[in-house]
Every structure is written in C-alpha cells, then in structure tokens.
Structure 1
Amino acid sequence: MIEADHADAVVVGRALIANPDLVGRRQNGHPENEPWRELFYGPSAEGYADYPFLQTD
C-alpha cells in the first residue's frame, strides 16, 4: 500500500497481537489467527500474550 502510494503508513496492531509470527504468515500465505475481541481490555495478559504460533512440523 505504501509502495503504491495509497497510504503513508499501515497499522497492523490487532493482527500482530493475534499472530506473533505475522510476517512469516503473510510472506508464506498461511492463515492468520483471529483476535479474541471478547478479551480486549481485560485485567490480564489473556488474549494478548497467548496466541499460538504457526505449526510447520
């Protein structure tokens, strides 16, 4: 989007929280985890620090 001059910046905050390996997923066309919106703004790290990494075994 930036290279095509459609945007000055691209934000991927929610996608990055839900996919700790987001760059690899996008580079290789793997599906992404969906953010757990029901846990946003909760009192713990649940929903922020416990998303699974892509299993490539």
Structure 2
Amino acid sequence: MINNKFTQEKGNSVIQENLADLVAFGRLFISNPDLPKRFELNGDIARYDKLTFYTPGEKGYTDYPSLP
C-alpha cells in the first residue's frame, strides 16, 4: 500500500507499473465522500480545507458535497 498526495492518474500509474498493490487517497476522501464515483465519471475533485482537519464539529468532515 502506498499513499501521500496521489491523484487518480498517479495512482493508476503506480498500480500499472506494479510499484504497489493498493493506493490510499485519505485526504481526497475527506473532501470527496464519493471519490470512487468521481474517479469513474471523471468528476471534479473538491479541494480539502486543512484548517478543518482534527477539529471538532461537522465542518470539514460532513459538509463536503457529493455529486448529484
């Protein structure tokens, strides 16, 4: 497993080149709760807000929109 600031393209490349068996998209999942769907549809990727990481409340965790 590999992670750290991967895009869909970089993740696919790592898998195709057999450099890893799995790519983690932690930060992207925070701001894109439907990340697999966005990848599948080539949807826009929402930017995450680092200022809301590790803070109490829903801002930054449950307020990012999903695709329609």
Identity %: 38
TM-score (norm 2): 0.68
Aligned pair count reads: 55
Structure 1 stretches of 4+ moved >3 Å? none
Whose relative contact order is higher, 1 or 2, with alpha carbons under 8 Å and at least 6 apart?
A: 1
Return the offset for 1:9.
2.5
Within a 5 Å distance, the mapping from 1:8-23 to structure 2 comes to: 8-23=21-36
Structure 1 gaps of 5+ residues are: none
The TM-score with structure 1 as length reference comes to 0.79
Q: Where in structure 2 are there 5+ consecutive unaligned residues?
A: 1-13
